[in-house]
């Protein structure tokens, strides 16, 4: 975290005009935590002043803040893949699909933040604060990429081992949208159930 806070404490190098038209309005949006709007403003500013160090730094920083907010929100969303005891795995297809989409979006935003830092390093090579911030973003990207890949693999592997039909009602399963339960069956084969069918089973026992 100190790397990112440090990057933001670097005095912004920009002209009074950039300050007035882009930095001040963008900061006002950022103070309301409206980072998408703040990013739009600095992106417009960069179209007019492509090499502005101050605007590049803000673009990188706001991208990071937006990605961080989205990551924090992920935590409060319903669990997409969850172990519910006795070796039973519950997978919410809709939530998993949504979460994988959010991972991609966060990775895209962080990638743009990294690109802004690369440009910043071209106009200001060897800036230690920026290099520190950049390596922090790269570690974060690597970690998110790994988490998202693990989730995607768990999701796609479970389909292929369990087949496409619910053991309870014998109907087909739409893994991308439905909530299902996987459990190891009596013949050491993976079973898959619609979540409601699995709940009915529990009530009968
Ligand atoms: Zn079923």
On average, the pLDDT of the chain sits at: 87
Q: What confidence score (pLDDT) does residue 46 get?
A: 94
| Residue the block writes with tokens 């005891």 | 85
- Asked if the model's pLDDT at residue 28 lies above 80, the reply is yes
CA 53/CA 205 separation, integer angstroms? 67
Q: Is the predicted pLDDT of residue 3 greater than 50, yes or no?
A: no
Average pLDDT rounded to a whole number, residues 135-139: 92
Quote the ligand 1 centre to 121 CA distance (angstroms): 56
Query: Could you tell me the pLDDT band of residue 6, with boundaries at 50, 70 and 90?
Result: very low
Strand partners, 89: 83, 182
Using one digit for the tens of pLDDT, what is the confidence trace for 142-157?
999 999 999 898 888 8
Q: 22: CA distance to ligand 1 center in Å?
A: 56
Cβ atoms < 10 Å from Cβ of 50:
11
Residue 39 Cα to ligand 1 middle (Å):
46
- Return the residue matching tokens 């990429």: 145
What average pLDDT does the segment 165-170 reach?
93
Q: Which two tokens stand for residue 85?
A: 């005891």
CA–CA distance, 199 with 105 (Å, rounded to integer): 34
Helix, strand, coil % over all residues of the chain, rounded to 5: 65, 10, 25
Token pair belonging to 67: 């990605």
pLDDT tens digit string along 101-136? 999 999 999 999 999 999 999 988 888 888 998 999
171 CA to middle of ligand 1, Å?
Answer: 6
Report whether 77 contacts 95 (CB < 8 A).
yes
Q: Which residue has the higher pLDDT, 118 or 162?
A: 118
**What number is the average pLDDT over the span 180-185?**
87
Element housing 55 (H / E): helix 53-76
For ligand 1, the distance from its centroid to the CA atom of residue 184, given in whole angstroms, is 16
Give tens-digit pLDDT for 55-105.
999 999 999 999 999 988 888 887 888 988 888 989 999 999 999 999 999
> How many angstroms is it from 187 CA to the middle of ligand 1?
20
pTM of the model: 0.81
Backbone angles phi and psi of 14, in degrees to 5: -155, 160
C-alpha 198 to ligand 1 mean position (Å) = 7
Query: Which residue, chain included where needed, has tokens 């409206």?
Result: 34
**pLDDT at position 10, please?**
54
Domain positions in the chain are 2-204
pLDDT of residue 75: 80
What is the model's pLDDT at position 76?
A: 80
Kindly provide the b/e burial profile for residues 129-145, where b requires at least 16 CB atoms within 10 angstroms of the residue's own CB: bbbebbebbeebbeebe
């Amino acid at each position: 975290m100190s790397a990112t806070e440090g990057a933001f404490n670097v005095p912004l190098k920009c002209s009074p005009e950039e300050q007035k038209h882009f930095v001040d309005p963008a900061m006002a949006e950022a103070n309301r935590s409206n980072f998408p709007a703040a990013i739009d403003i600095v992106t417009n500013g960069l179209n007019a002043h492509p090499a502005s160090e101050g605007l590049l730094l803000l673009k990188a920083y706001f991208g990071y803040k937006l990605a961080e907010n989205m990551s924090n929100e992920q935590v409060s969303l319903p669990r997409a893949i969850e172990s519910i005891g006795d070796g039973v795995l519950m997978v919410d297809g809709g939530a998993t699909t949504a979460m994988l989409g959010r991972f991609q979006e966060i990775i895209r935003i962080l990638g743009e933040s990294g690109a802004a830092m690369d440009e910043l390093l071209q106009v200001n090579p060897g800036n230690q604060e920026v290099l520190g911030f950049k390596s922090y973003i790269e570690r974060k990207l690597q970690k998110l990429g790994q988490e998202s890949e693990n989730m995607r693999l768990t999701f796609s592997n479970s389909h292929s081992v369990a087949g496409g039909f619910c053991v309870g009602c014998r109907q087909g399963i739409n893994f991308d949208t439905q909530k299902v339960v996987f459990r190891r069956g009596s013949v050491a084969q993976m079973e898959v159930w619609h979540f409601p069918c699995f709940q009915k089973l529990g009530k009968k026992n």
